[in-house]
Structure 1
Amino acid sequence: MTIPFLKVHLLVMNSSIANKITNVEDMIIKKIRNTLEEHSDPEEKRKKIHWEKQYQEKPRIYGIPSPTVRKLSSEFFKKIKKKPKQEIIQLCNNLLESGYSEERTIAFDWAFRFRKLYEKSDFHLLESWLMKHVHGWGACDDLCTHALGAFIHQFPESIQKAREWTISENRWVRRASAVCLIYSVRRKEHLEDVLATADALLIDSDIMVQKGYGWMLKEASNHYPKEIFNYVMKNRRDMPRTALRYAIEKLSPEYKAEAMKRE
């Protein structure tokens, strides 16, 4: 009879621990939301809703300037950074599920802050966030130039998986396929992958995708001006004007003038 008793006892203990963790998570989330409510500004909310309605039918926004949100995010992270990684991820998931822009910013920021703990399997988590919680260029660029970009920098074998995003029906996923390489190319890495991704997106008709891969090429031009100039010259007949202008923005006046010449 002792074995069943031990099993029951362990189940009760595990359930108690799980409930305790959940209660702590709930308290943290509640504190964050109360703080965000306190910083909410009606005029800021009105402006942000007007802007976000371009991309979402019913955006959820507190109305807080981005610098303030990031400052609050930093302060809250200090209180949870010693927690196990999975608990932090669960907190991020809880924030993301609310649909609020500011809570999403905090979740993406925390994910970047624990980047030293990334594992290969985390690609699926970050990809799921991209697919489910990114509905505009701000969220796309935030995730891709920080958490997702840092992950790809650490695990470059994931670039091939990210390349698959270039054929997604979702404009933000296609944009992400380019923007997620900016973190690496700023560190003088993965030029070949940058050019391959630009090839895949070259004639994309969506202006937000054009701006995304044009921005990626622009960042690459800081370290590889000749290579980017040559790429633009080779493809300028097919490259949309928006992407071309972004790509050459930081090139020398001579390169820019040559690239803009009409054939």
Structure 2
Amino acid sequence: MADLSAEEFERRLREHQSDEEKRGYERYFKTGSDRFIGVRMGTVFELAKEFIDLPPAEIERLLDSDVHELRAGALSVMDKQARRKRTPPERRTELYELYLRKHDRIDNWDLVDLAAIHVVGGYLADRPRDVLYELARSPRWWERRTAVVATAYFIKSSDLDDTYGIAELLLGDPEDLVHKAVGGWLRAAGDKDPDRLRAFLDRHAAAMPRVMLRYAIEHLDAAQREHYRALR
């Protein structure tokens, strides 16, 4: 593709606008600052495949937009670049640094989930992970969500320490969208090591927010689920 620019990405995306989709997004997300133009996410992701070589400077221009679908497109491109085996280490570093530097633009649950695993978690796989604990202590809930979502990359190889360490930090979190992420990632960690999940729940189930506990115990058998629900 000749024109790998944020401007061309936006032009192509706007070809697929729909008022019906726009109304659906506005009902679903209920966000104050986001603006929706009504493009299906499947279309956003397909276009991101075509723009997989978009340079970081152009990705940043998309992230600076107030249009939700454009920011989602930027993060989908980042994710695809991070997943691609032939992406050079320097680009992986650029993507990671861009994600953290522009985290104020990655401020909804779907935006976090699009790129945190491979852009952040993948980058940190063989590096110190202190930044995740800093994010877990952030006053911004979307940064706290990144902290736990990024650990999905480690869970794949049964590296579970950071998932549990960050989950402990977030047990008292006030935000439902953080509760859901923590519970979901505890469930995934439990799929790798059920005994460790049960040990965590034995210590913490009584104090866990309801939705966090519900997500965490979904893959346990009925008797175990009832036991941990009763602890609350």
Report if the CA contact (8 A) 1:69-1:105 is conserved.
yes
TM-score (normalizing by structure 2): 0.87
- Answer yes or no: is 1:99 the counterpart of 2:66: yes
Corresponding position of 1:228: 197
Corresponding position of 1:60: 35
- Answer yes or no: is 1:117 the counterpart of 2:88: yes
Task: Give the C-alpha shift of residue 49 in structure 1.
Answer: 2.1
Task: Give the C-alpha shift of residue 92 in structure 1.
Answer: 0.4
Query: Is 115-124 or 223-232 further displaced after alignment?
Result: 115-124
SS at match of 1:237: helix
Query: How far apart in 2 are the matches of 1:173 and 1:217?
Result: 18
Superposed, 1:164-243 pairs within 5 Å as: 164-189=134-159, 191-243=160-212
Report if the CA contact (8 A) 2:6-2:59 is conserved.
no
Distance change >3 Å, CA 34–CA 124, structure 1 → 2: closer
| 1:112-152 deviation digits (Å, cap 9, x = unpaired) | 2222324485443221232x212211112112234223222
Tell me, which stretches of 5 or more residues in structure 1 are unaligned? Answer: 1-23, 82-86
Corresponding position of 2:45: 70
SS at match of 1:169: coil
Query: How far apart in 2 are the matches of 1:44 and 1:198?
Result: 35
Query: How far apart in 2 are the matches of 1:118 and 1:257?
Result: 47
Kindly provide the amino acid, as one letter, of the partner of residue 73 in structure 2. I
Corresponding position of 1:152: 124
- Answer yes or no: is 1:127 the counterpart of 2:66: no
TM-score (normalizing by structure 1): 0.78
SS at match of 1:205: coil
SS at match of 2:192: coil
Report if the CA contact (8 A) 1:118-1:151 is conserved.
no
Superposed, 1:21-32 pairs within 5 Å as: 28-32=5-9
Query: How far apart in 2 are the matches of 1:30 and 1:195?
Result: 42
- Answer yes or no: is 1:41 the counterpart of 2:18: yes
Task: Give the C-alpha shift of residue 29 in structure 1.
Answer: 2.6
Corresponding position of 1:84: none
Query: How far apart in 2 are the matches of 1:95 and 1:163?
Result: 28
Report if the CA contact (8 A) 1:95-1:104 is conserved.
yes
Q: CA RMSD in A?
A: 2.1
SS at match of 1:63: coil
| 1:200-257 deviation digits (Å, cap 9, x = unpaired) | 1111122221112111101111111111111011111221222111111112334323
Q: How many residues in Structure 1 have an aligned counterpart in Structure 2?
A: 225
Report if the CA contact (8 A) 1:36-1:62 is conserved.
no
Query: How far apart in 2 are the matches of 1:63 and 1:117?
Result: 34
Corresponding position of 1:13: none
SS at match of 1:156: coil
Distance change >3 Å, CA 127–CA 75, structure 1 → 2: same
Corresponding position of 2:109: 137
| Largest Rg, 1 or 2 | 1
Kindly provide the amino acid, as one letter, of the partner of residue 29 in structure 1. A
Distance change >3 Å, CA 76–CA 50, structure 1 → 2: same
Q: Which structure is higher in helix share?
A: 1
